[in-house]
Amino acid sequence: MLEVILVGTGGTVPTKDRRLTGLLVRHDGRELLIDCGEGMQVGIKACGLTLGRIDTILLTHFHADHVAGLPGLLLSMGNEGRTEPVSIAGPEGCAHVVESLRVIAPELPFQIRYTEWKQPVVTAPFAALSVTAFAVAHRVPCYGYRIRLARPGKFDPALAEKNGVPLAAWNAIQKHGQVTLDGVTYTGEMVMGQARRGLCVTYVTDTRPLPLIAEMAKDADLFVCEGMFADPDKQARAEESGHMTFSEAATLAAAAQPRRFWLTHYSAALPDPEAHLDVARGIFAGAECGFDGKRELIRFSD
């Protein structure tokens, strides 16, 4: 199971009704945060959450509305007793940018481990999750993220017997992945059927539309995509600034066919995204407007 929470949905600057961009993904008691606009720790607490379980922070790019909240968040995590290392990943130069911001947060009770994306598409494990970072088209290097939670196949007694796995090893293999009895090692592949459909969340912001985005969001359980501008008359502005309109985001969703599709990262000049939702729904009927605090529990389907 994954829980996904939109902590903030604003782009460029916060408003009285919207915090700056941030998405939190929760699994098995741990948390992964994508982007960290200013005041992120306040937004997370407003969602009824604590800060100490954030193990990983993924940065899409280094504009202020996506990273300026890092010093405050890291300090608050330390003040809440965090001592375990925290992973921060982003485009090349990530370590330099974060360490520069840490001039005002120099002392932390935990280590920061950096990962920098140097290829257009990179997949890396973060705890039980698999994260694929993929380069998108903004004015500066920027990445979208696809987060996957794998689901193993069901235990297959016939397969276990075929592979000569003793009955005494069956429960231990299912629990631990492998077991050694009488000097022989038995693995999960010897007793588990074909892997089942897992869970997938794709998050994209600050980009022009690309076919790769639809590919990465294909059949996702949830596709969260920027809709900086709702009005089709803002097309030229979207192209100039490296952002998308509602209709462009919805066109990507129509190509990807996710199970849920949320718009986010709205311009401060867009006070009521819902008033323009029909623009997106005319292209992808399942389009929804994201809002601060919007959340979804995504469960495995049998």
Cα(6)–Cα(296) distance, integer angstroms = 9
For residue 257, what are the CA distances in angstroms to 6, 27, 73, 141, 147?
21, 24, 35, 27, 17
Beta strands at 2-8 and 295-298: parallel, antiparallel or unpaired = antiparallel
Nearest 5°: the CA angle 146, 297, 76 is: 75
Residue from 198, 186, 179, 191 nearest 155 by CA: 191
- Is 65 among the residues known to form the active site? yes
Cα(107)–Cα(103) distance, integer angstroms = 9
Beta strands at 184-187 and 178-181: parallel, antiparallel or unpaired = antiparallel
Residue 231 tokens, joined: 């009005």
Active-site annotation holder among 35, 65, 206, 221:
65
Q: How far, in whole angstroms, is CA 266 from its chain's centroid?
A: 18
Q: Which residues are part of the catalytic machinery?
A: 65
